[in-house]
Every structure is written in C-alpha cells, then in structure tokens.
Amino acid sequence: MPYLKLNTNVVIDIEQSAELLAEFSQLLAKETGKPERYVMVEVNAGKTMLFAGNADPLAYVECKSIGLTTTQAKALSASISRFLTAELKLSADRIYIEFSNCPAEWWGWNGSTFG
C-alpha cells in the first residue's frame, strides 16, 4: 500500500529510471515496515517544472501509505532527500515531499479495501 511518486525536471534515461524504481521500492518498504510486494513506485522525469523562480534541478515527491506516522515521515524525508541528492545530484532545498496517511478503508486493492 505504500506509494511513492517522483516528479523531477532532471532527465533520466531508461536504465537509471529502472534503478531508481528498484531502490525507491526497497527504501519505502524498509522505512514503512511494509512488505515490498505492496509497494508501488512511479518516476516521472524530464518534466517542465519551476521552483523558487528558476528551473534548476528539482523534485516533488508524493509519499502515501496506510498508517504512516509522523516519525516515519521524518525518517522518510531524510532518506528520500539523501537518496535524491546522491543519485540525481539535487540540492536538498530543491526537494518538496508531500506525505499522506491514508485510512485503510480508503485504500483499495484486489477488489476490496484494506479496512
């Protein structure tokens, strides 16, 4: 049920995109304590985006999960920022991350919901 969506103006080739997906999937499973078989990750690169009045490299990340705590959100913010600064050479102050804790009854899967 954890879902992470990366939007960035950085151009990423197919090979790097596949690596990012795999690493983000593992990171999200580890940080949320959820099985990776429930983790979904999306990467949208090369987008036309502007932050603070300029188009320098940036990222907007959406991270959603059932039962996401504030402690997990803080840990994820640090992990995601470290990961993006290392992999995409982004500055941490050019990364926004939106966290959402979704109630289990509002998250559908396999013809039903988790609640």
Residue, of 73 and 115, whose pLDDT is higher: 73
pLDDT band at 98 (very low <50, low <70, confident <90, very high): very high
CB atoms within 10 A of CB 10: 18
Let me know if 35 is a catalytic residue: no
How do residues 48-68 score in pLDDT, each as one tens digit?
A: 999 999 999 999 999 999 999
C-alpha distances in Å from residue 92, one per residue of 2, 50, 51, 63, 66: 22, 15, 13, 17, 26
Q: Which two tokens stand for residue 88?
A: 């995409």
Which residue ranges form the domains of the chain, and what is each CATH number? 3-109 (3.30.429.10)
pTM of the entire predicted model: 0.94
User: What does the mean pLDDT of the chain come to?
Assistant: 96
pLDDT band at 4 (very low <50, low <70, confident <90, very high): very high
> Residue range 2-14: average pLDDT?
97
